[in-house]
Amino acid sequence: MPANPKIAVIGLGYVGLPLAVALADKFSVTGLDINENRINELLSGYDKTGEIDSAKLKRSTLKLTTKKADISGFELYIVTVPTPVDDKNKPDLGPVIRASSLVGSVLQSGAIVVYESTVYPGVTENIAANALEAASNLTCGQDFYLGYSPERINPGDSEHTVERLTKVVAGQTPAVTEILEDVYGAVTTGGVFKANNIRTAEAAKVIENAQRDINIAFVNEVTMICQKMGISVYDVLDAAGTKWNFLSFKPGLVGGHCIGVDPYYLAHVATTFGHNPKVILSGRLTNDSMGNFIADSIASRMPHSGMSARILVLGLTFKADIPDLRNTRVIDVVQKLKASGGIVSVHDSYADPLEAKSLFDLELLNEMPHDSQFDCIVGAVSHKEYIGLTMDDFALILKPGGLVADITGMWRNTRISADFSRWQL
C-alpha cells in the first residue's frame, strides 16, 4: 500500500460524504454514488443532507462520479451504503451486495475493501467477500483483503463529527489493521481503536444502537405507565436524574437509519445461532408501538371527534433540525390520527416535500397556517422554529378550546391559556 493511496468512497449519503470530504484533506479521494442527481447537486456545491456546507464542499479536492471506471484499480475502497430492513424487519443486504459487486468489477490485486455499513457479524467476511470474489475473479485473503470500520455519524450533530470520533478498525490481517489505523488516524483527532477482528468490530457497532434502543424502550414503557397514573414522565425523569448514576434517556418516537433498524440485525444473527433475543425484540416492540400510543392519547383528548377534528402536525423528520425522513416514526402518528377520523395537515420546514410525497404520499404545507382553524396542534419534532412558539402563536392556529399536544416536551414551560387544553408525555 503506497503512502498516499487512491481511495474510493462508495455511497455519498449522511455517512459517505463527510468521510470522503475528510479523507480528501489528506489523500487522493474519489466519491462514487449511483444517484446522478445526488452527484450533480454535490458538484454544484449543494448537500441536501446539510452535513457539509457549500463553502467546504467547494473547497474540497474530492472528486465526484457515478462511473465505476473512475475508481478502477484503486488501493482502498470504503463502502458506506445503507443497510435497511424489509417489510418483515429482516436485514436487507441488497445495497451491500450490489456495492460489493460494483467494487469487485474494478478490483485489482493488493486492494483493501473496507465496510462502514452497519451489518451483523459475519457479513463482511462471508456475504460481501463472496460478492467481491464473484465479480473480480480474485481470491479474498490472497489477492485482496477486507476491513471493517463502523460508522458513527450522528446526522445534524456538529460536535461529534467524523474528524473527532474515535474510529474502530479491524482488518483481515494485522497488516491491514495497521494500514486502516494509519488512514483513519490521519483524519480524526478522536483516536483509533483496533478491534480484535472484523466480526468483533461488526458486533460492536450493532450493539451500540441496540443498547440505546433498549434504554429508550424502558423510558417509553415508563411513560405509558405514568400516563395512566396522570403524571408527567418528564417530571419523573427530572427527579430521578438527580441520582449520580441515573442514565439520561428521553421518551418519544424512535426512528432513523440506525436505532430503529440495527437491533433487527442483531436479533437476526442471534436467531441463526439458536438464541431467542427476548430483550432486544421486546425493546423494538415497545418503541414501534409508541406512535400508536401517542396518537390514541391525542385522539382521546380531542375537543371534537370524528371527521370534524382538524389536526396540525409540526415536524416529520426523524429528529430535529435535519431533513432526514428515513424511517421516521412521526408517520405512525399521522396515519393513526387519520385512521381515527382526523383531518391531518403536516408542516416541516426541513423535509423535502417531494421526498415526503414519494415516501408517504403526504403533501406538506408550504407555510405555517395562521387561520385559527385547527382543533389540535401536535409538536412532533423539536425543530428550532417550533420550540419558540408561544401562546400567541397557538392562538393564531387553534380554535378556542383547542388542544396543544407536545410529544417531545419542547413546550413544557410554555404558558398555555385556560382557553386551550394541553397534553404531553
Per-residue pLDDT of the chain in tens (425 residues, 90 and over written 9): 767 899 999 999 999 999 999 999 999 999 999 999 999 999 999 999 889 999 999 999 999 999 999 999 999 999 999 999 999 999 999 999 999 999 999 999 999 999 999 999 999 999 999 999 999 999 999 999 999 999 987 777 667 778 889 999 999 999 999 999 999 999 999 999 999 999 999 999 999 999 999 999 999 999 999 999 999 999 999 999 999 999 999 999 998 888 989 999 999 999 999 999 999 999 999 999 999 999 999 999 886 655 578 999 999 999 999 999 989 999 999 999 999 889 999 999 999 999 999 999 999 999 998 887 899 999 999 999 999 999 999 999 999 899 999 999 999 999 999 889 999 98
**Nearest Cα residue to 76 out of 181, 164, 167, 189:** 181
pTM, entire model? 0.92
Q: pLDDT value at position 306?
A: 52
Domain 290-424 falls in which CATH fold? Rossmann fold (3.40.50)
Cα-Cα end-to-end distance for the chain: 55
Q: pLDDT value at position 302?
A: 81
The DSSP letter of residue 91 is: B
Q: pLDDT value at position 17?
A: 96
Which residues make Cβ contacts (< 8 Å) with residue 304, sequence separation at least 6?
375
Q: Is the CB of residue 226 less than 8 Å from the CB of residue 232?
A: yes
Q: Helices 129-136 & 94-104, crossing angle to 10 degrees?
A: 30
Q: Is the CB of residue 347 less than 8 Å from the CB of residue 365?
A: yes
CA distance 398 to 402: 5
Domain 6-197 and domain 290-424 have a common topology = yes
CA distance 329 to 292: 10
Q: Is the CB of residue 5 less than 8 Å from the CB of residue 26?
A: no
Provide CATH code, domain 6-197: 3.40.50.720
Phi, psi for 171 (deg, rounded to 5): -115, 165
Cell numbers at 417, concatenated? 391559556
Find the catalytic residue in 140, 226, 258, 376.
258
Cell numbers at 55, concatenated? 463553502
Domain ranges of the chain: 6-197, 258-288, 290-424
CA distance 45 to 25: 17
Beta bridge partners of 421: 403
C-alpha dihedral (425, 256, 336, 266), degrees to nearest 10: -100
Q: pLDDT value at position 307?
A: 56
The DSSP letter of residue 124 is: I
Question: Residue 112: which H helix or E strand, with range?
Answer: strand 112-115
CA distance 299 to 336: 9
Reply yes or no on whether 258 is catalytic. yes
CA distance 273 to 202: 16
Which residues make Cβ contacts (< 8 Å) with residue 236, sequence separation at least 6?
222, 226
